[in-house]
Each structure stands twice: as structure tokens, then as C-alpha cells.
Amino acid sequence: MHFGYRRLRLIAPCIAPTSAARSTHGLSNIGACKTIFGLNHLTRKQSHQENKSYHEKEITKHDIIGSYSCFYQYGLWLVAKTGTGPAKTSRSAGTKVKGVKPSSIRRGLFLFWEITLTLITNNPKMKNLILSFVTLLCAFKAVSQNAPDLKFDQKFTSCEKKWVVFQPDATLRYPYGFIYVDISAGFTFDLKGFISVQADGRFVADNTISQNGSSKYRLGPGTKPVAVLPSDRIRELNLKPEPDWLSIYYAGVKDTAGVYYNYRMGWIYNAAGESGIALRHLEKAYRVDPADEKVRFEMVFAYNDLGRFDDAIKLLEVDIQNKPKDFNLYKELGYAYGGAKKFDKAIEVFKKGLLLFPDNVRLDQRGEMALNTAMAYKDLNNKDEYTKWMLLAKEYYPIGSSAYNKIVASGF
């Protein structure tokens, strides 16, 4: 298994969100916030297990009354599992339901009908309940397909100052809100509420969550594509083109040609995985003050991310002379040398950088440098040193982390 060179994004301190805000590291997918956006996964799993147990006991009148809620919850889980809930990122060829393997659909439907037949067989009184539920399930499916004007094909970085909609949660509601840039923290999603699509195609919004306080989420590279809310839907939901509170975040942004603004925007776009856009801002700041250390470092990060290794090396070789104990510079310079296939220089720089790591630096960053050193030795066909540094990287990475698991899976 060849890992390739790895590089962690160094996240600089930023102003903490207000106590009312819920901060995630980028809503890497909105379905990850299950307790906010729809049914909690554990609840659905428990509901599924409870329904499986019905065929193991005699169903009483009390069970019939009490089971509707549980069976309804199971239905919501099944709807989500078979594709009318949150769409997954993968799209299997030949699969009609987005992001769900045919085998998963077959298993879900088989289990549904197994439970249905068992309930009807064990107690005829369940027949009407089952028929009602199937009708409700079909209605859910019809409603969930009735929003053709929502196209989930936009990256959040192209949606600054726009109303957007995320893919629906397990209850078939669409989280929606406004994306803006907080110059101190980055791209942010302000959750307005949840949209339900009616049978006639109308949008109805439940804004209870925003009426009770502000719910803001920092967006990062793993954020799923969003849909921009069409202008007619904005009017339908009685929304202003821009929220009243937006001016607070942009009022202080006056000198858009200055160093600070362009440095911050460069940092924000680098963190969002848009190094090409970041570099345009950073080059503006560089022209004003070419000696600014923060600007230069962000430019190096963007150059490395874009594969412009020679440009990164040119800046880093100067900066490392001025700050010979800055381990971050060694980390980036080693990465640039590796990308430029100057493997001996990469190894030398990585080893120096590891000696400079302060005790309070996260172990995964040490692991990154050790792993990159191993990759350089592998590119030089030095198997002994490659093995040595892979084992060292394994020691550094936290047990159970993605990199640790990959190292173990590769035989170390």
C-alpha cells in the first residue's frame, strides 16, 4: 500500500462561536449531526430491533396501540435507508435510488415485508394499521420527490451570501439557512430551519430552531454539496434576500485591498480546500507586504496544495533561514521536496523538523512527518529505512485513527 505524501491542515486559532452557536469542524456531512438534523441513528436502530421482536411474542391490544409509534419510526428509518432520505455521496451505476446499493434496498424491503406479514398473521387487527402505514410510506415517498428545483450540485465556497438547502434528513425535512464568511473564522452556515415539501410542491418552513437562538456551523472541505434556494422559493418562504444580521459580519470589512483582509481570505479558502482562490487573495497581500510571515506561509500552503513545489521551496528556503526553529516550515519544506522528487532533501528536512517539535504538538502531526519520511525512503527503494519509519509513524498516530489503521492494514 502506497500512501503518498500526507499533509495535515494547520488550523490557526479563531474567535470562538457564541454560546448559542453549535460549532462543528465543517459539517463534514450534515447527516453527521444526527441529533439536530432528524432522527438519532440509535433511536432508529432501537426501533428496528423492537419491531423485529414482535414476531417473537403474542401481540396484545396494548401492543397494537403502542406499536404504531415504533413502527412509524421504523418506517422513517426504512425510507431513509432506501434512498428517499439523505442521499449518499456515492452513485452506483445501474442503481435507481441515489447512493444506495441494490442489495441494501432488497434487504430493507425484505425485512419490511417479513415484519408486515408476521404482524398480519399473528393478529388480524394489525391489518388496517399496516395498510395505513403503507399508505403513509407511499405519501412520504411522493412528497420527498416533489422538489425538482433543488439541485444539490453547489460547493459551499460558491454560495457566499446565499440561501441554501442541504439534503434532507431522515424525517424528510430539508435543513436550510444562509452561508456567509466570518472573517475571523471562515465559511459559516446559519441554520434558519427545516423545509417540508407538501404534496402540491409547496415549501413549508419550520423555523423554531432559529427562533430559539442562533445555530451556526463552520463549513469545511468535507461538506456535502448544497442547493441554492431559487428566488421564487425565497419569496414563498417570506425571506429577505439577505438576513438583517448579515451586515454585522461585513461592516468591518472596508480595506479589501489590504494585507489583513486578503491574508484572512487566503487562510479561509486554504482551509476550505480552495487553494486556487486562496492564492489570488494571498498574492494581493504579498504585493503590499512581501515580508509578512503569515502571508508567506499561507502562500506556501497553497503552492504545495496546487503542486507548485518549486514556488513553495523558493519561499521556504528563505523563511527557514530567518526562523530555523519553526517546525511548521520544515513540515512544508519536506513536503515540497517530496513533491518535487528531491527525496534525499525531503528526508533531511523531515528529520530536522521532528527534532524541533515541541511537546504540546499533536502526535498525528509527528506521525505525518514520520510517514512522509517513510514515503521518501520508499521512493528511494530503501526498504529497511522505510520499515523503520513506518513503525515510528505507527507509534505516533493515535490508535484507531485513519492513518494508524491504514498502517496496520499494510502489515506494520
Q: How far is CA 112 from CA 71, 105, 133, 338, 353, in A?
A: 10, 10, 11, 54, 57
Q: What is the mean pLDDT of residues 274-281?
A: 97
In the structure grid, which three cell numbers stand for residue 145, read together? Answer: 420527490
How much is the pLDDT for 125? 56
How much is the pLDDT for 128? 60
What are residue 194's DSSP bridge partners? Answer: 175, 206
pLDDT digits (tens, 9 = 90+) for 321-341: 999 999 899 999 999 999 999
For the chain, the average pLDDT equals 75
Whole-number Å distance between alpha carbons of 278 and 56: 60
Q: How far is CA 19 from CA 160, 161, 288, in A?
A: 24, 23, 37
Place of cell 413502527: 71
Whole-number Å distance between alpha carbons of 326 and 148: 53
Q: Are strands 25-26 and 162-165 parallel, antiparallel or unpaired?
A: unpaired
pLDDT digits (tens, 9 = 90+) for 24-58: 323 333 333 333 332 222 222 233 333 333 233 33
pLDDT digits (tens, 9 = 90+) for 90-141: 323 333 333 444 444 445 555 555 555 555 555 655 556 555 555 545 444 4
Q: Which of 100, 92, 85 is nearest to 31 (CA)?
A: 85
CB 216 within 8 A of CB 191: yes
CA angle centred on 214, ends 210 and 216, rounded to 5°? 110
Whole-number Å distance between alpha carbons of 282 and 288: 10
Q: Which of 283, 294, 290 is nearest to 257 (CA)?
A: 283
Place of cell 498502517: 407
pLDDT digits (tens, 9 = 90+) for 18-28: 323 323 323 33
Instruction: Report residue 182: phi and psi, to 5°.
Output: -90, 110
Sorting pLDDT into bands at 50, 70 and 90, what band is 263? very high
How much is the pLDDT for 291? 96
Q: What is the mean pLDDT of residues 224-229?
A: 96
Contacts of 311 (CB under 8 A, 6+ apart): 303
**Res 64 pLDDT > 50:** no
Whole-number Å distance between alpha carbons of 94 and 349: 49
Task: Give the type of residue at 64.
Answer: I
Q: CB pairs under 8 A, 24+ apart, for 365-370?
A: 365/8, 365/331, 366/396, 367/393, 367/394, 367/396, 367/397, 367/403, 367/404, 368/6, 368/7, 368/8, 368/331, 368/393, 368/403, 369/330, 369/331, 369/334, 370/396
Whole-number Å distance between alpha carbons of 79 and 170: 8
What are residue 175's DSSP bridge partners? Answer: 194
- DSSP assignment of 74-141, as one string? HHHHHHHHTTSSSPPS---TT-SSTT--HHHHHHHHHHHHHHHHHHHHH-TTHHHHHHHHHHHHHHHH
How much is the pLDDT for 382? 96
Whole-number Å distance between alpha carbons of 236 and 104: 37
